[in-house]
Structure 1
Amino acid sequence: MKIKIWILLAFLSISTLSFSQNNAIYRAEREKTHNLIHTKLKVNFNFDKKELNGEAWVTAKPHFYATNLFTLDAKAMLFDEVSLNGTKLNYDYDDAQIVIKLPKKYTKEEKFTIYLKYTARPEKVKDKGSAAITGAKGLYFINADGADKNKSTQIWTQGETEGSSCWFPTIDAPNQKTTQEIYITVPNKFVTLSNGSLVNQTNNGNLRTDYWKMDQKHAPYLFFMGVGEFEIVKDSYKNIPVNYYVEKEYAQYAKDIFGNTPEMIQFFSEKLGVAYPWNKYSQMVVRDYVSGAMENTTAVVHGEQAYQTPGQLIDENTHENTIAHELFHHWFGDLVTTESWANLTLNESFANYSEYLWQEYKYGEEAAEMYMHSNVSLYLEGQESDKDLVRFNYLDKEDMFDIVSYNKGGAILHMLRNYLGDKAFFESLKTYLNDYKYKAAEAHQLRLIFEKVTGKDLNWFFNQWYFGANHPKIDVSYDYNKLRKTVTVNILQLQPENFQFPLTLDIFEGNKRRRETVFVENKDASFTFPFNTMPDLIQINSDGVLLAEFNENKVLSDYIFQLKNATHFMHRREALLEVVKKQDDKVAFNAVVSALDDSSYKIRVLALENIDLINKFSKKDAIRKIMQLANNDAKTLVKAAAIETLGKLTDPELKSIFTKGLQSKSYAVLGKSLVAMYYIDKDLALKKSKELPDDVRKILATPLTQIFIESKDETELPFIAKSVVSGMFLSGQGSTKVMYEKAFKMISKSNNMLAIQNLVEDMVTKGNQYKKFSFDKVVINLMRTIIKEQEKSTNTNKDRNIAIVKEAMTGLL
């Protein structure tokens, strides 16, 4: 499962959830009274009632103890028949579990098959979602009545964590494994997707039954069923079908979005030493999905954010890491599955780390460094350091899907890889996958595999990183002895726990750099190194591997040297953020200008965003260099940032650069060029903005909103309204958020009924989508603001506008 962590961080401040670990309840692995063997399903759908009509044949046997009771999870269902070999059975049902009374005690050597005829009613499910997965009803009917002409009718399922038992009876626990087959009956116009192979299709008038079969065992939460009008874009890896299920308008872009998948399969197979273990790999993009993506075995589902056009993809495929993430789950999560949600790290930390591995392989070490810095920063900023990675006292299983299980867990695997070495690390993963394939496992078993392969005792590592919380917070100081030509590096850990870890240091003497590695065992440690000439800089954690926070007393000259000489992206970025604060110093300003040539495009963008061109030294030289970036940089995101920086100068002599930008295939460049052009040629910018196709205008909502607000163009208020809520609360930049707040006020006071309606519809959508964050409460407060503004106005439409808002509020309340 891939979640949108940026959404989580955006709403932490307004969430009413408690994430405390001080809960005394022990969350054990689900007790195995029975083992699932096989699940056979026949389903069809009642679109009007949003219900599923199903038949299930569940084959199982007792795990160890003989018993005459069989319990299945089945939420909000109606049962017409429960039988064994044609004989009806008695049962008790509490709307969550059905306890079936078998005709005799079955032993662990005896299997049986229960038949259940049932109706699944997902709209009646009482379970709630989470920050990661915003719904928990298992089965979702999208635009079931076809009333929304802009949205296709779809049905899809979401099993993690316990949603599968909302649409078929099962033992809904990750430590269960079962083979499956499913017959899906749908109108002929629909395509279906499920796990395993499509064995055959049978037509019956206007209906068709697709028969899907999965011969390899996997967990019930990984069952998937998708129905809709999709184009199937075919690809392959060796003899394995790799298909992309997308809506028709995106079929031409499917391989641009997902086309690296076959190469990913090959890379991960070779890296792990375990061939891709399944018979196909399909990916489907659905509407109104409740998370980012989900690793259903052989049938991955993605949310709409996967859809991108060439104008976006030329800048960056923002979904590429997610594609890698879900694929890697097919080894870690699908082949070997966490035995309990407390051990979720065995699924999600590995999938998170796969994103680093893919970046490293495909785009190089620096790209991987940029990824890991972003990944770790989200954890450090998330203020969740009080949680263990493996934790048995969570308040709710859904709470396990957080930046600890994902981001911190991925960083921990990176540390373990560097400590053990690549050969030992990947040989251990290969052994783990082979030993536990088609089974469930826990973190201790992972540790024992690493110990078996390497011969090392790793309790110390797992105790502090897997079964402990927090991370090192370190004060660093230096003692130089010029007489002996030595420097002593002092490490003082400030957090309550004592961490042990290897630590790299780069010692710079002029143009010479040497790397030292030490092992820190105590909270107060010192290490002495010789030098020939006084070091210009000592870079702590020089390889960027250790997950820690460092405090050092560095001066401007240290940061300038670090910006120019540090080998790791993280340290150059850190230095740049300090140097830009001192641009009244000529040397510092020139260092920022030099950063425009950095090998990392993110450093170049950061320098462009922060360079101060007002009354500065060598200003003409700096502008000349920025012009070169705007015209020639290999990365379109750098070109866009350069154009934005030049646009702030409002210099008509730069018009040719902005004009060229208006012809760019890159939407990032186009958007920045429109805004820059607006301040030197307002009429041209407005003309170009209004001529853009609707699908492009939607993607460029932020720059266009800025232009329309600046020009006070009320005819564009309906367009602006469609993106205001997202912009106000999900924007990462304060200036952008302020701009959207201006837009909100403008619409709230307007006489434009369509704009009010569009704004409210967007609010309702976002409020429902992020209920777990109490975002619906924030939206309601905004709606009240609209009502107050309308009540004060002399708008002829105000009564109708107020009625629209109140009706929407009723739905959220």
Structure 2
Amino acid sequence: MKIRKPLVYIFLFIISFSFAQNSINYKAEREKIHDLVHTKLKVALNFDKKELNGEAWLTLKPHFYNTNKLVLDAKAMVVKQVTLNNQKLNFTNDDFQLEINLPKTYTKDEEFTVYIQYTARPEKVKDKVTNIISASKGLYFINANGIDRNKPTQVWTQGETEGSSCWFPTIDAPNQKTSQEIYITVPNKYKTLSIGLLISKTTNGNYRTDYWKFDKKHAPYLFFLGVGEFEVIEDTYKNIPVNYYVEKEYAPFAKEIFGNTPEMMQFFSDKLGVEFPWSKYSQIVVRDYVSGAMENTTAVVHGEQAYQTTGQLIDENTHENTIAHELFHHWFGNLVTSESWSNLALNESFANYSEYLWREYKYGKDDVEMYQFENEKLYLEGQNEDKSLIRYNYDDKEDMFDLVSYNKGGAILHMLRNYVGDEAFFASLKAYLKKYKYQTAEAHQLRLIFEEITGKDLNWFFNQWFFGKGHPNIEVSYDYNTIRKTVTVNILQHQATTFQFPFTIDIFEGKKRTRHRVFVEENDASFIFPFNKQPTFIQVNADGVLLCEINENKVLSDYIFQLKNAQLYAHRREALLEIAKKQEEKDAFNAVVEAMDDTAYKIRILALEKVDLINKSSKRNAIEKIKQIATTDNKTLVQASAIETLGKLIDPEMKPIFANALESKSYAVLGKALVAMYYIDKPLAIKKSKELPDEVRKILATPLTQIFIESNDDAELPFIAKSVVSGMFLFGDDTTKALYQKAFKKISKSNDTEAIQNLVSDMVVKGKQYKSFNFDKVVINLMRTMVKDQEKSTNSNKIKHVAIIKEAMSKLLE
């Protein structure tokens, strides 16, 4: 689902929005009274009212017990009539459910089809607990009236968790499976996208009706409707259409962004032993999307952060993990669906791990280790100790979409893979997918499949990692016996619950490495290993498989050896960070400089960021090396980091390097070069910054903001204002956030009406977009600050500005 990283996870930290579970109420799977069999819809959009006029034909049957009443989820709908076999039925409906009296009692073998004529009113959907208008509308009209010239008119849906019942009546639960067909009537200028294949288009004057049909079974939350002016870029996998729906501006870049999709489909099909199970695969990018992406069956939707141009893609396709993630859901989540939100890990943990699998296959060891480290780091740094992977006692189903279900779950699957072995792991996944295809499952069924394939009892693993909380927090110490030539590795666990786990230990004698595999069963465990000569170094969790925190005492020489000899990116990174703290010692400084040659590009970047070039005259060799990196490294992100490091020297001798970098096709290099040039030739840097095309300036908003704020260029405040909210909350390190906080204060007090308008307009958009994360409250507080700043100022436009800000506040409070 709803990929929420990295943007939304950053929100969680920034605004301290708690997902803590206070309830002990058991959240059961939705009881199956009726089974959905087939859903047929005819819908037409009312852009003026932001409503949908619809007709639904729902085919159902009792699950087991005889029934004479049907209850459907139908949020904020006006239901005009309900019939069965042309006979009108009595019904009642409120803001949440539609209750229908059936004309007779039906048995479990009898199917029936009810017809419902209705109007969906997504702007009136309420939260069931608070009974106030909800941010989760299910159906979203973007710039419906077309007033905003900078934004296209679009309509799209978001079904997970229970948003589908905001635009058509259904049983909105993940344990339901239905085939579907839909007729969508829209103005001719729009394209549509839905589930399955486009069977026909029928034009009637200025309108067209597109008919989409899907014969397989999937859950109601996976329905999708998308409408807008899109270019469709065609691709294929075998005989399956693979299409990319993008705005015209991004059509030239669509295959650069999404072009690995067919190869991913082939790779995942081969790896799982289960061929891609659907008739097509489309991906669409929409505006103001409420999450990162969503795996609607055959019609994946992405937020506009997927849009990138060649200058960005040269550096890195930042959306590639998401593309893999949503595709993998078409096996784990769509083909086999978690029966309840408590079992969400059966969807999201597997999709998270698919990112690892793809990068391992496509980009190799260093790349996937960098990915694994950052994936686990997010979990380890979050407040997740009190949450199990499978949870039946959450407060709100949305709470399940967190760093445990995603990041920790992916790490757990990696541990399971390593414990049972590759062959057994993928054989088990194949068996699971085949047994439960087009059905639902829970975690115990996954365990039983693994036990059947491997012959192992895995209750201990699932109880500990799927149903238990936390992770090992380990203290490691060493005792050497030089007479017996043995070393004892002591492993002491500090967390409340004792974990059992396989553990790898590398013992180095000189540069000769011997790997030992042990199994830790006790809270306080010790393992004795022989050696021929005194070990030079010992690396625990040497394969990096165990999700844990480790504390051990090391000295500088240990870290230098670790940096030079450890196999894993995470271990080299740990060593480099410690070494960088002691660069007053020559060995430490030299080790940092040597790390600029590391095979992992993020180690090279970290070394460039951390190198201490104070007393630069004595460090000419290191500076010369950095100059070479700035022009020759095979990774543009490393080149950019080298330019940033050289820029800190404020040395006019570097001007030719910066000037050359200003011609780079890489936006990362260009952005760093502009800032570096600013500190040695301000007029040139400012001139170049102002000459850039608007589309490039937008992408380089952060470095340009730094230049314009530093130079007090108030003429650029309207431009800066468009990026302030994202810069303060959505991306970047502390330095970036501090920059945008400074920009916010400047704009908040300014007399520039356009800048004020741009800032509050963006606040309204972001506040509404992330309202479910309480971000609207954060934005409201910022607007109150702006009002106070304006009221205290001597600005000639302050009355006008206060009115603009208060009008924006009212829009958020609607």
Which TM-score band (shorter chain)? over 0.9
Measure the CA separation in 2 of the matches of 1:326 and 1:535.
Answer: 46
Matches within 5 A, 1:739-778: 739-778=739-778
Match of 1:550 in 2: 550
Measure the CA separation in 1 of the matches of 2:748 and 2:95.
Answer: 45
Measure the CA separation in 2 of the matches of 1:403 and 1:122.
Answer: 29
Match of 1:83 in 2: 83
Match of 1:180 in 2: 180
Corresponding letter in the other structure for 2:688: K
Match of 1:137 in 2: 137
Residues 9, 382 of structure 1: 8 Å contact kept: no
Measure the CA separation in 2 of the matches of 1:213 and 1:756.
Answer: 48
Match of 2:608 in 1: 608
Match of 1:35 in 2: 35
Match of 2:676 in 1: 676
**Pair 1:254 & 2:247 matched:** no
Corresponding letter in the other structure for 2:220: P
Match of 1:637 in 2: 637
What are the superposed Cα offsets for residues 606-649 of structure 1, whole Å, 9 maximum, x if unpaired?
11111110026951111011011101000000000000000000
Corresponding letter in the other structure for 2:278: W
Matches within 5 A, 1:704-743: 704-743=704-743
Q: Aligned pair in 2 of structure 1 residues 48, 18: CA closer, same or farther (>3 Å)?
A: same
**TM-aligned CA deviation for residue 22 of structure 1:** 4.2
Match of 1:159 in 2: 159
Match of 2:234 in 1: 234
**Corresponding residue SS for 1:567:** coil
Match of 1:508 in 2: 508
**Pair 1:279 & 2:279 matched:** yes
Corresponding letter in the other structure for 1:505: I
Matches within 5 A, 1:511-522: 511-522=511-522
Matches within 5 A, 1:187-202: 187-202=187-202
What are the superposed Cα offsets for residues 448-496 of structure 1, whole Å, 9 maximum, x if unpaired?
0000000000000000000011000001000000111110000011101
Match of 1:168 in 2: 168
Match of 2:398 in 1: 398
Match of 2:573 in 1: 573
Unaligned runs of 5+ residues in structure 1 are none
* TM-score, normalised relative to structure 2: 0.98
**TM-aligned CA deviation for residue 508 of structure 1:** 1.0
**TM-aligned CA deviation for residue 415 of structure 1:** 0.2
Matches within 5 A, 1:417-566: 417-566=417-566
**Corresponding residue SS for 1:516:** strand
Measure the CA separation in 2 of the matches of 1:185 and 1:558.
Answer: 68
Measure the CA separation in 2 of the matches of 1:171 and 1:355.
Answer: 32
**TM-aligned CA deviation for residue 786 of structure 1:** 2.2
Measure the CA separation in 2 of the matches of 1:307 and 1:11.
Answer: 21
Residues 2, 322 of structure 1: 8 Å contact kept: no
Match of 1:685 in 2: 685
Measure the CA separation in 2 of the matches of 1:709 and 1:656.
Answer: 25
**Corresponding residue SS for 2:680:** coil
Measure the CA separation in 1 of the matches of 2:19 and 2:655.
Answer: 52
Corresponding letter in the other structure for 2:251: A
Q: Aligned pair in 2 of structure 1 residues 152, 8: CA closer, same or farther (>3 Å)?
A: closer
Q: Aligned pair in 2 of structure 1 residues 22, 123: CA closer, same or farther (>3 Å)?
A: closer
What are the superposed Cα offsets for residues 314-348 of structure 1, whole Å, 9 maximum, x if unpaired?
00000000000000000000000000000000000
Measure the CA separation in 2 of the matches of 1:9 and 1:229.
Answer: 31
Q: Aligned pair in 2 of structure 1 residues 757, 715: CA closer, same or farther (>3 Å)?
A: same
Match of 1:359 in 2: 359
Matches within 5 A, 1:337-416: 337-416=337-416
Match of 1:116 in 2: 116
Residues 596, 603 of structure 1: 8 Å contact kept: yes
**TM-aligned CA deviation for residue 50 of structure 1:** 0.6
What are the superposed Cα offsets for residues 28-50 of structure 1, whole Å, 9 maximum, x if unpaired?
00001111111111111111111
Residues 569, 600 of structure 1: 8 Å contact kept: yes
Corresponding letter in the other structure for 1:279: S
Unaligned runs of 5+ residues in structure 2 are none
* TM-score, normalised relative to structure 1: 0.98
Corresponding letter in the other structure for 2:403: I
Measure the CA separation in 2 of the matches of 1:203 and 1:746.
Answer: 53
Match of 1:61 in 2: 61
Measure the CA separation in 2 of the matches of 1:109 and 1:119.
Answer: 31
Measure the CA separation in 2 of the matches of 1:736 and 1:775.
Answer: 19
Match of 2:105 in 1: 105
Corresponding letter in the other structure for 1:462: F
Measure the CA separation in 2 of the matches of 1:246 and 1:217.
Answer: 27
Corresponding letter in the other structure for 1:49: K
Measure the CA separation in 2 of the matches of 1:219 and 1:753.
Answer: 49
Corresponding letter in the other structure for 1:753: T
**TM-aligned CA deviation for residue 535 of structure 1:** 1.1
**Number of equivalences:** 810
Measure the CA separation in 2 of the matches of 1:472 and 1:47.
Answer: 54
Match of 1:289 in 2: 289
Measure the CA separation in 1 of the matches of 2:338 and 2:10.
Answer: 29
**TM-aligned CA deviation for residue 774 of structure 1:** 3.0
Measure the CA separation in 1 of the matches of 2:498 and 2:782.
Answer: 47
Residues 80, 116 of structure 2: 8 Å contact kept: yes
Corresponding letter in the other structure for 1:209: T
Measure the CA separation in 2 of the matches of 1:382 and 1:747.
Answer: 33
Measure the CA separation in 2 of the matches of 1:14 and 1:682.
Answer: 34
Q: Aligned pair in 2 of structure 1 residues 396, 804: CA closer, same or farther (>3 Å)?
A: same
**Corresponding residue SS for 1:452:** helix
Corresponding letter in the other structure for 1:45: L
**TM-aligned CA deviation for residue 798 of structure 1:** 1.6
**TM-aligned CA deviation for residue 17 of structure 1:** 5.1
**TM-aligned CA deviation for residue 224 of structure 1:** 0.6
Residues 65, 107 of structure 2: 8 Å contact kept: yes
**Corresponding residue SS for 2:545:** coil
